[in-house]
Amino acid sequence: MSALTFQGDAFSEYYLTRVVWEDPKVRNLLGLDTVNASYRRGASELLRAERALRDRHMPRSTRTLLLNPLADILGWTLGEEEAVQTEIEVEDAGSALLVDGRPFARVVTLAPDAHLDLPPLGHHRRFAPTLSIVRVLEEQNLTWGILLNRFEMRLIRRAEGFISSHLAFDLTSIAAGSAAGFDAWRMLWALLRQDALANEPSVLERVVTIGREHQEGVSRALGGQVQHAIIEYLQGIISHPDNRPRIPHPLTPEFLWSRPSFLPRA
């Protein structure tokens, strides 16, 4: 996977990778003054955890060796692990990520090599972790969930019903200290450190809202440019001296529907 992966319509990839860092609406909330120091510590912890988890097979190893150090860097307060009864089965709900003492998200650690998009082998569970956590969020009326294995942290946003979008961070790239890894950590730090979550509204909610507004603005601008380009193109055909004798003035619907040979075909 790439260092950052976007899925669904909640997160505007263009806004988050190109615009957000200079956006005056949120720039001062992104923790840019502390990201370099946090990255050095984060990359070191992730590399250590990646090596330590190679021969481990249980979710508790992921929690102990990866989640706990990462939560310490991000300043998270985590509740006790628990399960949640949904209408179909009991789901692993992981721990509540607390902000001001209230659950903001659920954080679920998986076995180090567990697949996020397939049901776990050897269990009578019907759903992949990505779907299971959305069911938990629906049951608890929460918007945000986080899945974690040895390789990936996946930030999930639940929409109405069981629909979700996610933003995935490649932990291997971050641990390797690459440029792409730094970009992924910078995003993780900007959105998920404790003081970013404690803002009202949270930085997460801000970038979702502003990103959608930005995307809609770009779409409107591009739509206007396309319309203008088509008008200019057709005007050029109509105004060309060779075509003037063949075009009635004013233009009539009957003439346009006749699809004259010198006009572009659909």
> What is the rounded distance in angstroms from the CA atom of residue 145 to the CA atom of residue 155?
6
> What is the rounded distance in angstroms from the CA atom of residue 5 to the CA atom of residue 167?
6
> What is the rounded distance in angstroms from the CA atom of residue 57 to the CA atom of residue 112?
6
Residues 108 and 92: beta-carbon distance below 8 Å: yes
Q: Which residue has the tokens 């988890």?
A: 53
Query: Which residues are CB-contacts of 58 (< 8 A; sequence separation ≥ 6)?
Result: 111
Name the maximum alpha-carbon separation found in the chain: 82
Residue 223 has what pLDDT? 45
Residues 156 and 145: beta-carbon distance below 8 Å: yes
Residue 28 has what pLDDT? 97
Residues 158 and 138: beta-carbon distance below 8 Å: yes
The one-letter amino acid at 6: F
Residue 186 has what pLDDT? 98
Report the side by side order of strands in the sheet with 152-158: 4-7, 164-170, 152-158, 144-148, 102-109, 95-99, 77-78
What is the residue-level pLDDT of the chain in tens, covering all 266 positions? 689 999 999 999 999 999 999 999 999 999 999 999 999 999 999 999 999 999 999 999 999 999 999 999 999 999 999 988 877 788 899 999 999 999 999 999 999 999 999 987 765 667 899 999 999 999 999 999 999 999 999 999 998 766 789 999 999 999 999 999 999 999 999 999 999 999 999 999 999 999 999 876 555 555 445 554 555 666 666 666 777 677 777 766 666 666 666 555 55
Residue 257 has what pLDDT? 66
pLDDT tens digit string along 230-244?
A: 556 666 666 667 776
Grouping H, G, I as helix, E, B as strand and the rest as coil, residue 147 is: strand
Write down the pTM of the prediction.
0.81
CA angle 197, 20, 145 (to 5 degrees): 35
